[in-house]
């Protein structure tokens, strides 16, 4: 079917060429006269401009027009659910982009694919925050009790296991949160979840992909195959604990800052399969931010992840390699959650975010702790650096210990600084921004859950009818 | 397997393709086992895709493990290694010359993807990048052959005579 169509197309093209040559002969004949009548209105429709409105450097005309039309189609879709259905309708193979990436020396690849910039040390907001010594003293015995319970008293403390490490984190936060309600009012209305699925997908340009291939086509060999310049990445991860709030966190940097804009972002020369990435089957892409659409708490405050797998890698490769892996884990974990949150606000890889989004992540073991802060400035990875100069930023700290060791029912060498930073992360106050958080969606659009009320406001009528 | 076939295999399978014999079992207290000149081999490959300078690809003996590859490079050539991963490529089909059906396949290949230690780099030498002289020689031979054919066509009636008499 396709072969016959394309064969006809070629035939027409060749015939046109012939007519052109005929015209050129007529041009030089004396019969043709130059006529200039500017006042007469042209009967033909106006000429289509070469490029659509917008910045389209490094794209061909065909690519730019197809993308522009896709953007316009996407804006016409009124709800988030229908947009996601439209994006995931096509079954395709994507490259897996795991959070716990076990292959060696892939940090630059991870940075490039997520288009993020790593900075050591936390942003300046945390320096101005100061935790009262009263709060610390109040909370310290509770933390110590949890640690003693999980590390010494319980039977499961003898075994090194994923479940044990995730249970430490869960137990720690369950005890901490009720103590902190009076200091941070946002936590009162927040939602806390355990073992949360976080999945996301996005398209990235710069890598070659076979779009279609037909060996039986009646064409020269070069034109039987067509390549596309974009590749889809898919992440899937299980977060141990996630805390979500009604309002978003403050932005760490304004979006027009020098750090957020980088026109010389490095271009990776190597294909993803060089770094040991595997492909998914031909299936629909998946996306979950850890809550259903229309949830009142849509913005993530903190997420906690265990780092059991890093210890196995440390035994295998040593400290220098695992340090890179830890940075990559914090980077990808915070990126995927923010990506999924942005999708649920109506943005996607076609419609870029209009305001920066932020989260905080904690990787911990019970003993070792490391802190990450991430600011998402772009999702649009299809455009060139010149067309889209924005970049995402990830701040990270070194791995610090909460305590030295546990002996005879006592925690020795409790580190107050790491405990302070943990409290800073939990006491960060989200604020309402005076902007439209869903600018791409129409104002009347409403998702499913926002309409429903699981607990009805009208009191139940329990009176029984008696004869 | 009879005694007769054992000898046959020894004849026709080359040494580098043969199966590696089992190591003797180690009991505690025995002297340490040492294997001198094992049947292992590794062949450098030119990678199809462009790869970073700290990575190398090899084709290896199919019985080699990751530790074998690591020890091979570290102990003999003194090259530090961080990570080794494997992939097997299926052998190409061998077709019947007349029927065209697939009779057998060539042997599968085991390929090792090695990540070198810190600060180590390697670039595949450009031995095969130069245009070879054999192509030129073939073209010259074809031209001369064509000339001879032309001459023979002209002097078709005097071919039986020796060339100095034509």
Question: CB-CB: which of A270, A276, A320 is closest to B50?
Answer: A270
What are the extents of the domains in chain A?
91-434
Q: Are residues B112 and B140 in the same domain?
A: no
In the prediction, which pLDDT does A247 show? Answer: 94
In the prediction, which pLDDT does A466 show? Answer: 62
In the prediction, which pLDDT does A162 show? Answer: 76
Whether the CB-CB separation of B108 and B52 falls below 8 Å is answered with no
Q: Exposed, middle or buried, A111 (CB in 10 Å: 0-12/13-18/19+)?
A: buried
Q: Are residues B68 and B142 in the same domain?
A: no
A142-183 per-position pLDDT tens digit: 999 999 999 888 888 887 777 888 999 999 999 999 999 999
Q: Which helix (H) or strand (E) holds A23?
A: helix A2-27
Which positions ≥6 away from B38 have C-beta within 8 Å?
B20
Q: Are residues B92 and B150 in the same domain?
A: no
In the prediction, which pLDDT does A294 show? Answer: 82
Q: Are residues B77 and B159 in the same domain?
A: no
Chain A residues with beta carbon closer than 8 angstroms to that of B118:
320
Q: Are residues B112 and B39 in the same domain?
A: yes
The series of mean pLDDT values per 10 residues for chain A, 467 residues long, is 42 44 46 56 85 84 90 93 92 94 95 95 93 93 94 84 86 94 92 95 90 87 86 95 95 94 91 92 94 89 95 93 96 97 93 95 94 96 89 96 93 95 95 92 71 62 66
Query: Cα–Cα–Cα angle for A11, A17, A23, nearest 5°?
Result: 140
Q: Are residues B143 and B110 in the same domain?
A: no
Q: Is residue B96 part of a domain?
A: yes
In the prediction, which pLDDT does B104 show? Answer: 92
* Binary contact (B118, A274; C-beta < 8 A): no
Q: Tell how far CA A239 is from the center of its chain.
A: 15
Q: Is residue B92 part of a domain?
A: yes
Chain B residues with beta carbon closer than 8 angstroms to that of A269:
50
Whether the CB-CB separation of A130 and A407 falls below 8 Å is answered with no
The 3-state DSSP class for residue A230 equals strand
Q: Which domain holds residue B150?
A: 135-165
CA A47, A48, A53, A58 dihedral sign is negative
Q: Is residue B13 part of a domain?
A: yes
Examine the predicted complex and report whether its ipTM is higher than 0.85. Answer: no
Chain A residues with beta carbon closer than 8 angstroms to that of B115:
104-105
- Please state, in angstroms and rounded to a whole number, the distance separating the CA atoms of residues A39 and A37: 6
Q: Is residue B86 part of a domain?
A: yes
* Binary contact (A320, B52; C-beta < 8 A): no
Q: Is residue B102 part of a domain?
A: yes
Kindly report the nearest CA distance between residue B31 and chain A, in angstroms: 28
In the prediction, which pLDDT does A378 show? Answer: 95
Q: Are residues B20 and B47 in the same domain?
A: yes
Q: Are residues B26 and B98 in the same domain?
A: yes
Chain A residues with beta carbon closer than 8 angstroms to that of B85:
103, 276
Kindly report the nearest CA distance between residue B149 and chain A, in angstroms: 34
Q: Is residue B17 part of a domain?
A: yes
Q: Are residues B58 and B111 in the same domain?
A: yes
Q: Are residues B82 and B32 in the same domain?
A: yes
Whether the CB-CB separation of A409 and A83 falls below 8 Å is answered with no
Domain count, chain B: 2
Q: Are residues B75 and B152 in the same domain?
A: no
In the prediction, which pLDDT does A8 show? Answer: 42
Q: Is residue B158 part of a domain?
A: yes
CATH number for the domain harbouring residue B65? 3.30.70.330
Question: CB-CB: which of A104, A271, A320 is closest to B49?
Answer: A271
B8-64 per-position pLDDT tens digit: 655 678 888 888 888 888 899 999 888 787 889 999 999 988 999 999 999 999 999
Q: Are residues B98 and B146 in the same domain?
A: no
Kindly report the nearest CA distance between residue A3 and chain B, in angstroms: 27
- Please state, in angstroms and rounded to a whole number, the distance separating the CA atoms of residues B67 and B57: 16
Which chain B residue has the Cα nearest residue A268? Answer: B52
Q: Is residue B69 part of a domain?
A: yes
In the prediction, which pLDDT does B5 show? Answer: 60
In the prediction, which pLDDT does A450 show? Answer: 53
Whether the CB-CB separation of A375 and A253 falls below 8 Å is answered with yes
- Please state, in angstroms and rounded to a whole number, the distance separating the CA atoms of residues A201 and A96: 9
Label the pairing between strands A116-120 and A392-396.
parallel
A24-77 per-position pLDDT tens digit: 444 444 444 555 555 667 788 888 899 998 888 878 888 889 889 999 999 999
Which positions ≥6 away from B63 have C-beta within 8 Å?
B19, B20
């Amino acid at each position: 079917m396709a072969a016959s169509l394309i064969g006809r197309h070629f035939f027409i093209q060749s015939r046109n060429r012939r007519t052109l040559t005929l015209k050129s002969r007529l041009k030089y004949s004396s019969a043709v006269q130059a006529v200039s009548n500017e006042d007469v209105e042209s009967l033909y429709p106006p000429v289509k401009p070469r490029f659509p409105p917008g910045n389209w450097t490094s794209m061909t005309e065909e690519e730019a027009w197809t993308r522009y039309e896709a953007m316009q189609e996407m804006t016409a879709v009124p709800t988030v659910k229908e947009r996601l259905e439209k994006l995931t309708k096509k079954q395709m193979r994507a490259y897996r982009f795991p959070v716990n990436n076990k292959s060696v020396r892939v940090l630059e690849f991870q940075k490039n694919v997520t288009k993020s910039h790593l900075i050591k040390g936390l942003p300046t907001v945390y320096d101005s925050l100061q935790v009262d010594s009263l709060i610390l003293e109040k909370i310290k015995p509770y933390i110590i009790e949890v640690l003693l319970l999980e590390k010494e008293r319980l039977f499961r403390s003898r075994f090194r296991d994923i479940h044990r490490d995730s249970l430490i984190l869960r137990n720690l936060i369950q005890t901490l949160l009720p103590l902190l309600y009076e200091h941070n009012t946002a936590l009162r209305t927040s939602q806390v979840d355990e073992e949360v699925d976080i999945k996301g997908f996005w398209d990235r340009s710069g890598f070659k992909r076979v779009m279609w291939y037909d060996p039986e086509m009646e064409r020269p060999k070069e034109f039987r195959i067509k390549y596309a310049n974009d590749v889809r990445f898919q992440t899937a991860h299980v977060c141990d604990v996630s805390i979500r709030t009604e309002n978003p966190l403050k932005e760490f940097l304004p979006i027009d800052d020098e750090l957020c804009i980088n026109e010389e972002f490095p271009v990776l020369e190597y294909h993803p399969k060089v770094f040991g990435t595997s492909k998914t089957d031909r299936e629909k892409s998946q996306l979950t931010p850890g809550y259903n659409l229309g949830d009142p708490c849509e913005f993530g405050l903190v997420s906690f992840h265990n780092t059991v797998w890093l210890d196995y890698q440390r035994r295998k490769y040593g400290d220098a390699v695992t340090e890179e892996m830890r940075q990559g884990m914090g980077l990808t974990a915070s990126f995927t959650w923010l990506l999924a949150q942005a999708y649920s606000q109506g943005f996607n890889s076609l419609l870029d975010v209009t305001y920066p989004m932020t989260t905080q992540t904690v990787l911990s073991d019970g003993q070792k702790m490391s802190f990450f802060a991430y600011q998402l400035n772009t999702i649009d990875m299809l455009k060139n650096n010149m067309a889209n100069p924005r970049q995402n930023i990830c701040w990270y700290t070194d791995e610090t210990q909460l305590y030295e060791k546990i002996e005879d029912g006592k925690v020795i060498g409790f580190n107050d600084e790491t405990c302070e930073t943990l409290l800073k992360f939990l006491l960060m106050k989200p604020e309402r921004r005076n902007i439209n958080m869903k600018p791409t969606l129409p104002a009347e659009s409403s998702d499913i859950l926002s309409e429903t009320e699981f607990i009805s406001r009208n009191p139940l009528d329990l009176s029984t009818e008696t004869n | 397997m009879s005694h007769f076939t054992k000898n046959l295999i020894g004849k026709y399978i080359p040494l580098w393709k043969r199966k590696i014999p089992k190591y003797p079992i180690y009991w505690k207290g025995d002297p340490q086992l040492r294997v001198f000149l094992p049947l292992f081999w590794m062949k450098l490959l030119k990678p199809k895709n462009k790869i970073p300078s700290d990575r190398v690809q090899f084709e290896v003996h199919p019985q080699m493990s990751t530790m074998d590859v690591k020890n091979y490079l570290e102990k003999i050539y003194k090259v530090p290694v961080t990570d080794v991963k494997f992939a097997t490529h299926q052998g190409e089909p061998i077709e019947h010359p007349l029927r065209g059906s697939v009779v057998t396949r060539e042997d599968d290949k085991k390929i090792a993807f090695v990540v070198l230690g810190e600060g180590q780099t390697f670039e595949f030498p450009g031995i095969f990048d130069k245009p070879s002289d054999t192509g030129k020689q073939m073209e010259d031979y074809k031209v001369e052959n064509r000339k001879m054919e032309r001459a023979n066509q002209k002097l078709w009636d005097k071919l039986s005579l020796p060339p100095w008499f034509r």
